Amino acid sequence: MSDSSGSVIPGAQVSVTNIGTGVRSTATTDASGNYSIPLLPRGNYRLESTVQGFKRFVREGIELSVQQTARIDIQLTVGEVVESVVVNAEVARLETQNATLAKVVDNRSIVNLPLNTRNVYSLVFLTPGVTGSVGNSYGEMRYSVNGARARTMDTMIDGVSAAHPTVNGFNGISVFPSVDAVEEFKLLGADYPAEFGRSLGSVLNVVFKSGTNKGHGSAYEFLRNSKLDSNNFFDNRRGQPLLSYKRSQFGGVFNGPIIKNKTFFMVSFEALRERRAASTLTSVPTAQERTGDFSATRTATGQAITIYDPFSTRANPAGGFIRDPFAGNRVPAARFDPVAVNTMKFYPAPNTAPTGQSNNQQNFGASASKPLDMTMSDYRVDQVISPSQRFFARYSTRLNDDRATQFFPNDLEKAEGRINQEDHVHGAVADYTNSISPTMVLNARVGFARTLYVFANQGLGFVPSSLGLPGYIDTAVDFLQFPGFSVTDYRGLGGGDHRKNAFMTYTAVANLTKTRGSHTLKTGVDIRLMRVNVNEGRNASSYSFTRSMTQGPNPNRSSATTGNGFASLLLGTGSSGSLQANYKNVATQSPYYAGYFQDDWRVNSKLTLSLGLRYDIDIPRTERFNRTNIFDPLVSNPASAVLPGLQGGLVFVGVDGRPRE
């Protein structure tokens, strides 16, 4: 602050008032005429300054962005305090007070720019140096900034990390704000302050709207319906109708005061309902083949396929081995494997004319609707506790339900192998700010980010032994579900994974900002606890049936006209199979600690130095219940020392050093 001659003015009172909420913050210029009011929320402000012997200075229209350091130089004019000099001017968006390379996307851009499925994170591509993709699932923030590896960046929402680790160590995200609920965001690409860390490439800083003294609201619906669309030229030419497509995205945001100048709220709701036409054309066994009769089974070019008896395999006097074909190309019903008899009941009947000259290729067709539902809501409350104390809390939730299309009839759906994907997402933050003195501000935040990811196999609950499989499979597999059957030349049945994983980050942040002369000092701690709970069952019971077991006459020589995968299934002669149990059931956690110190030193009106130091301790994951096994090569060597009571061989040792059976 200076007068018209350029002389500094110490001891002047400076105040800034948030136009929306009426919250006022103050400071006093020091001996060098400098002042600092840190940790102001994003918003529109009015600045006022008074000192004896000078006219009152007022500057309006100061729009502060997220994580912005704005410099407002005040020049006072000699006169009475009752007189005022009012300036209306916006703060320049060009950052001159720090070296951070960043891009701000404000609410106007967020609301007005076209966004498919209204995913606000898609706007990161407005920033130079950003490539990749952004989706609507927890693990689809696959963008890269300035060449850094994707999914290694941090996302801060209202000052708390919304990122969490995934199974493979990359970052997922737990909060997907509604477009209308976001005030703005800033992508910090490089050289960001020391208060930000645990990122290999960038930090995305997102700020929700808060309530003001005036109520505001909006409601919307974005509709797409194929009945309003025209078909494309090529489908019209083929006489193919336009496929059905319906998508409705609707919601609203409302914010305002609960108690004027004291308590404010913001509520947001948004939902997406999408139905997309889908179809399938595949091969299933014919009614004749289900009786073991392959006399009419042909290749696509009309050649007969001969079925050989794998149990007739014997040494060939001329060398190698030889097999005999089934009489009449029919597998006797007495030779059917009981499991195969039960399994083939889960194949739907053919309903479409086969392609080519075969009688069993592409003979099952179906059309259905593929559903996608997303529902999200956000709630925020701001409280002015006193002129020097502020508090806000926010809670966000989201359900993303992406269901696989069902083509099989309802009574056969357990065997279709469909998998629905669900994201159950939650995020919250509580923030407290205390202006201890005109030159010192304390801020503390706690929050959490959590995603429950369900990879829901629709064959779950099916008892494998009900097909005639051994009973021990029921107790050995991770989850009871329809086994996987892979049958060459035919659609497979069942199989697939089933997963239920929870990813969590708990955060506690505190910092203290002190203004001393030309220095703005900031020190703080960043503590996080990250957990990954994994319960995954792979396709534990699976079987493969190929042509090889029913080809011939030389069983080691394949041919397009001999052997059939379904015939191999009927005989129970699989080419391979697997039983996998206890695939992955772990609960890991890893704490993270960081401390930092930042000094923004205004050397003069043209030079500012941003000096920072941050120390991070990122501790590797450990299993919370000591269920981690290791392989000790010394113990596995019989010639070396062994643990007491063990006789060498392979030994698995827990993290506590005790042997595990």
3-state SS string for 146-182: CCCCCCCCEEEECCEECEEECCCCCEEECCCCCHHHE
pTM of the model: 0.80
CA–CA distance, 113 with 109 (Å, rounded to integer): 6
What would the mean pLDDT of 68-89 be, rounded to a whole number? Answer: 68
What would the mean pLDDT of 19-31 be, rounded to a whole number? Answer: 81
What would the mean pLDDT of 449-468 be, rounded to a whole number? Answer: 93
284 has pLDDT over 50 = yes
pLDDT grade for 649, boundaries at 50, 70 and 90: very low
Contacts of 166 (CB under 8 A, 6+ apart): 138, 139, 172, 503, 532
pLDDT at residue 493, rounded to an integer: 96
Structural domain including 54 reads: 2-88
Q: Count the alpha carbons within 13 Å of 13 in the hemisphere toward its beta carbon.
A: 12
- Looking at the domain assignment, is residue 354 inside a domain? no
Environment class of 97 (CB within 10 Å of its CB; exposed 0-12, middle 13-18, buried 19+):
middle
pLDDT grade for 636, boundaries at 50, 70 and 90: low
What would the mean pLDDT of 51-59 be, rounded to a whole number? Answer: 80
pLDDT grade for 650, boundaries at 50, 70 and 90: very low
pLDDT grade for 643, boundaries at 50, 70 and 90: very low
Burial track 371-389 (b if 16+ CB lie within 10 A, e otherwise):
bbebebbbbbbbbbeeeee
CA–CA distance, 387 with 413 (Å, rounded to integer): 63
491-541, pLDDT tens digit by residue?
999 999 899 999 999 999 999 999 888 888 999 999 999 999 998 887 778
8 Å CB contact between 93 and 67: no
pLDDT at residue 44, rounded to an integer: 83
Which of 88, 120, 136 is where one domain is finished? 88
- Which range among 103-107, 130-134, 431-435, 536-540 shows the weakest confidence by mean pLDDT? 103-107
Contacts of 242 (CB under 8 A, 6+ apart): 226, 229, 230, 231, 235
pLDDT at residue 640, rounded to an integer: 46
- Within 10 angstroms of residue 15's Cβ, the number of other Cβ atoms is 15
Percent of the chain with pLDDT over 70: 90
Lookup: tokens for 554: 């030389």
- Looking at the domain assignment, is residue 475 inside a domain? no
- Within 10 angstroms of residue 214's Cβ, the number of other Cβ atoms is 11
- The secondary element (H helix, E strand) that includes residue 391 is strand 389-402
- DSSP assignment of 336-389 equals --HHHHHHGGGSPPP-SPPSTT-SSSS-EEEEEEEEEEEEEEEEEEEEEEETTE
pLDDT at residue 532, rounded to an integer: 94
8 Å CB contact between 573 and 545: yes
CA–CA distance, 384 with 391 (Å, rounded to integer): 6
- Within 10 angstroms of residue 135's Cβ, the number of other Cβ atoms is 14
What would the mean pLDDT of 344-357 be, rounded to a whole number? Answer: 90
Task: Please give the residue that has the higher pLDDT: either 67 or 475.
Answer: 475
CA–CA distance, 118 with 594 (Å, rounded to integer): 35
159 has pLDDT over 80 = yes
- Which range among 298-302, 418-422, 640-644 shows the weakest confidence by mean pLDDT? 640-644
Mean of per-residue pLDDT scores for the chain:
85
Estimate to the nearest angstrom the gap between the alpha carbon of 538 and the chain centroid: 21
What would the mean pLDDT of 474-487 be, rounded to a whole number? Answer: 90
Lookup: tokens for 243: 């496929």
- DSSP assignment of 462-516 equals --GGGGT--THHHHHSSS-BPPEEEETTS--BS---EEEEEEEEEEEEEEEEEEE
pLDDT at residue 634, rounded to an integer: 66
What would the mean pLDDT of 557-565 be, rounded to a whole number? Answer: 92
8 Å CB contact between 479 and 496: no
Task: Please give the residue that has the higher pLDDT: either 549 or 52.
Answer: 549
- Looking at the domain assignment, is residue 643 inside a domain? yes
Helix (H, G, I), strand (E, B), or coil: what is residue 564? coil
pLDDT at residue 53, rounded to an integer: 76
pLDDT at residue 364, rounded to an integer: 93
345 has pLDDT over 60 = yes
396-446, pLDDT tens digit by residue?
999 999 999 999 999 999 999 999 999 999 999 999 999 898 889 999 999
264 has pLDDT over 80 = yes
CA–CA distance, 185 with 191 (Å, rounded to integer): 17
Sheet bearing 652-653, strands edge to edge: 630-631, 652-653, 659-660
- Bridge-based pairing state of the strands 519-537 and 584-604: antiparallel
Task: Please give the residue that has the higher pLDDT: either 650 or 639.
Answer: 639
What would the mean pLDDT of 151-167 be, rounded to a whole number? Answer: 89
pLDDT at residue 659, rounded to an integer: 38
- Looking at the domain assignment, is residue 402 inside a domain? no
pLDDT at residue 110, rounded to an integer: 72
Contacts of 94 (CB under 8 A, 6+ apart): none
- Looking at the domain assignment, is residue 347 inside a domain? no
Closest listed residue to residue 340, CA positions, set 543, 495, 497: 543
Q: What is the CATH number of the domain that holds 69?
A: 2.60.40.1120
Contacts of 87 (CB under 8 A, 6+ apart): 57, 58, 59, 60
What would the mean pLDDT of 143-155 be, rounded to a whole number? Answer: 87
pLDDT at residue 642, rounded to an integer: 43
What does the CA dihedral 560, 566, 567, 571 come to, rounded to 10 degrees?
140
467 has pLDDT over 90 = yes
- Looking at the domain assignment, is residue 651 inside a domain? yes
Place of tokens 């991070």: 616
pLDDT at residue 651, rounded to an integer: 38
661 has pLDDT over 50 = no
pLDDT at residue 99, rounded to an integer: 54
Overall domain count for the chain: 2
pLDDT at residue 54, rounded to an integer: 77
pLDDT at residue 128, rounded to an integer: 84
What would the mean pLDDT of 349-368 be, rounded to a whole number? Answer: 88
According to DSSP, the residues that pair with 216 across neighbouring strands are: 255
- Looking at the domain assignment, is residue 71 inside a domain? yes
- Which range among 39-48, 296-305, 467-476, 553-562 shows the weakest confidence by mean pLDDT? 39-48
pLDDT at residue 647, rounded to an integer: 41
What would the mean pLDDT of 330-356 be, rounded to a whole number? Answer: 93
pLDDT at residue 89, rounded to an integer: 54
- Which range among 86-90, 189-193, 261-265 shows the weakest confidence by mean pLDDT? 86-90
152 has pLDDT over 90 = no
What would the mean pLDDT of 177-189 be, rounded to a whole number? Answer: 85
Q: Can the peptide bond before residue 553 be classed as cis, meaning omega within 30 degrees of 0?
A: yes
CA–CA distance, 391 with 262 (Å, rounded to integer): 10
Closest listed residue to residue 276, CA positions, set 229, 237, 234: 229
What would the mean pLDDT of 598-624 be, rounded to a whole number? Answer: 89
pLDDT at residue 485, rounded to an integer: 95
Dihedral pair phi/psi, residue 255, rounded to 5° = -145, 160
Helix (H, G, I), strand (E, B), or coil: what is residue 298? strand
pLDDT at residue 239, rounded to an integer: 79
457 has pLDDT over 90 = yes
641 has pLDDT over 50 = no
What would the mean pLDDT of 63-73 be, rounded to a whole number? Answer: 76
Contacts of 596 (CB under 8 A, 6+ apart): 194, 195, 197, 522, 523, 524, 525, 526, 612, 613, 614, 615
- Looking at the domain assignment, is residue 186 inside a domain? no
Query: Residues in the chain, how many?
Result: 661
Closest listed residue to residue 348, CA positions, set 493, 450, 246, 225: 493
CA 355 vs CA 239, 241, 301, 347, 389: distances in Å: 19, 21, 10, 19, 75
Question: How many degrees, rounded to 5, is the angle at CA 655 between CA 654 and CA 659?
Answer: 25
Which of 73, 88, 103 is where one domain is finished? 88
Estimate to the nearest angstrom the gap between the alpha carbon of 141 and the chain centroid: 6
8 Å CB contact between 184 and 104: yes
pLDDT grade for 657, boundaries at 50, 70 and 90: very low
pLDDT at residue 476, rounded to an integer: 85
Which of 67, 88, 109 is where one domain is finished? 88
